[in-house]
Amino acid sequence: MTLLTVETEYFYFKKLTEGVYSAIAKTGKGSWSNAGVVDMGEELLVFDSFSTPSAARELRKQAEMILGKKVKYLINSHYHGDHVFGNQVFEDVTIISTSLTFKWFKEQNMIHDVEKEKNEMKQYLLNLRNQIETTEDIIIKASLIHQFEEMSKVLEELPHLKIVLPSVLFDKNLVIQGSQRNVELHCFGGGHTPSDAFMYLPDEKIAFMGDIVTEELHLPIYHPKDFLSILENVKQMEIETVVPGHGEVGTIELIDTLVDYLSFLMEKASEAHQNELSLNEFISEFITPTEYTNWKGVNGINRNLTTIYNFYVLKKI
């Protein structure tokens, strides 16, 4: 059982075990994704930095105040802004990611023209507002509202946002040794993005999964087959507590649910190709199973249906 330690404006700071904390995002407040803090003995390690500097600043403040130590390491699980736009708060520490995440981070996240970025974001928010007003699907409407709230928080901080890249890179595995515990970083490939890393605490059997694992969310898929392979490999590890990139702290069941989800979508997309259905026919005829009808996502399940259908198209080429 997790114990609520601190409720802040941005997140719930929960003690998982002695020296290990999850920071579970509050909806629409500027954190957007989950983070974590680990007491290494002499110093602290932070996993992911939220979507705004304000939320990251509060995370560092609470971590250092509660544990009485300074942050030495920050891990970036992948390059998406909702996990790394708080990096500037940790500019004075060692920031770690995979080499491929560093590449995508640098290519996709650098802000070269703040005014242009601001105008584009305003237009995006306007489009979201229009979608919110016209969408009848209750779940998709709630997802659009969430997206609007979170992007609005990013826009508020855009003028002061500084993109800070990782400084230490690894490819597959990295062990960080502390006087109190060791932390393992693993990357089994790319499922949600081209490179998805997670953090494993072997003694505590706790895994901070980034967006490899989320709760009841149609998270975008980068490569369905590799995603499934990653999850199957993670399941071979001794894990009792799973901290997802989005959602509440859970158990290995969170991983099992995603394995079932991906397997089901891949099976249906493969059948659609065997029956020579077009993408539009596949989507229009697809019936979402009850267990997935309440899952959030601005495009519902259709985006992932499209991605996986096109995956099989590419396999034929």
Predicted confidence (pLDDT) at residue 136 exceeds the cutoff of 70 = yes
Using a pLDDT cut of 90, give the percent of the chain over it: 97
Task: Put the strands of the sheet holding 11-17 in their side by side order.
Answer: 3-7, 11-17, 20-25, 35-39, 44-47, 71-75, 94-98, 168-170
pLDDT per position as a tens digit, 138-162: 999 999 999 999 999 999 999 999 9
Predicted confidence (pLDDT) at residue 94 exceeds the cutoff of 50 = yes
Q: What is the pLDDT at residue 4? A: 64
Q: Are strands 20-25 and 11-17 parallel, antiparallel or unpaired?
A: antiparallel
pLDDT per position as a tens digit, 264-294: 999 999 999 999 999 999 999 999 999 999 9
Predicted confidence (pLDDT) at residue 316 exceeds the cutoff of 80 = no
DSSP secondary structure string for all residues of 41-79: SSSEEEE---SSHHHHHHHHHHHHHHH-S-EEEEE--SS
pLDDT per position as a tens digit, 34-93: 999 999 999 999 999 999 999 999 999 999 999 999 999 999 999 999 999 999 999 999
What are the domain boundaries of the chain?
A: 3-108+163-251, 111-160
- Domain 3-108+163-251 part of CATH 3.60.15.10: yes
d(CA 301, CA 265): 10
Mean model confidence pLDDT for the chain: 96
